[in-house]
Amino acid sequence: MTAPGPAALVDADRVFLARDAVDLAPLLLGAVLSFDGPDGRVAVRIGEVEAYRGVGEDPGSHAFRGRTARNAPMFGEAGHLYAYFTYGMHVCLNVVAGVPGAASAVLLRGGTIVEGLDVARMHRHGASDRDLARGPARLAVALGVPLAASGADLLAPPFGLRVPVVPPAFVATPRTGVSGAGGGAAFAWRFAVPGDPGVSPYRRHAKSHD
């Protein structure tokens, strides 16, 4: 299967992003997120995402048990960044969705570098071009986005977010980073573009999202 070609893009706005995370997630496929870091600009075309809802309704979500210092950005305005540290070594990036207080977000699981390839290669020294942003932690490193950026507005510098006018075709499967009550067919909230080189390997038996 061949990878999808580039699509026409428009700047994302708050109204577009202020929808349920499960509805927003597939609309972010094919979107391009850029970051102007100290080493220069890097942009990634998103090929894989996962949706997470809020308090009491999504056992796989960081917000399931309520607000904490860590997950506070999830409770804020749509279009902001929720970044978190996992496994003691990796940063993962999410686009906050919905309305303030809803605590929902879309995890950026994988993509393909479309601008700043040399910078991304420097950030991910030794990785193949295919693997530069293939997986949530790799994506964050390739872009150069630090954990301290959590809460930043993705619609304002140093970030930029453009979304496709016509989203690509996608497949929906259970989330790969969630087991137990938050996994399985009831939460088939992983969305990916078939054939996209940035889609991470599917892991049917995976550890908790935390």
Within a domain: 22: yes
Does the predicted TM-score (pTM) go above 0.85? yes
Enclosing domain of residue 128: 9-192
Instruction: For residue 155, count other CB atoms closer than 10 A to its CB.
Output: 18
Residue pLDDT, tens place only, 83-136: 999 876 799 999 999 999 999 999 999 999 999 999 999 999 999 999 999 999
CATH number at residue 150: 3.10.300.10
What are the residues whose beta carbons fall under 8 Å from the beta carbon of 50, sequence distance 6 or more? 25, 106, 107, 109, 175, 176, 177, 189, 190, 191
Residue pLDDT, tens place only, 154-209: 999 999 999 999 999 999 999 987 867 777 788 999 999 999 999 987 554 333 33
Within a domain: 153: yes
Tokens read off for 119: 């910078």
Within a domain: 206: no
Within a domain: 198: no
CA dihedral 196, 82, 24, 130 (to 10 degrees): 0
Number of domains observed in the structure of the chain? 1
Within a domain: 181: yes
Within a domain: 207: no
Within a domain: 24: yes
Within a domain: 210: no
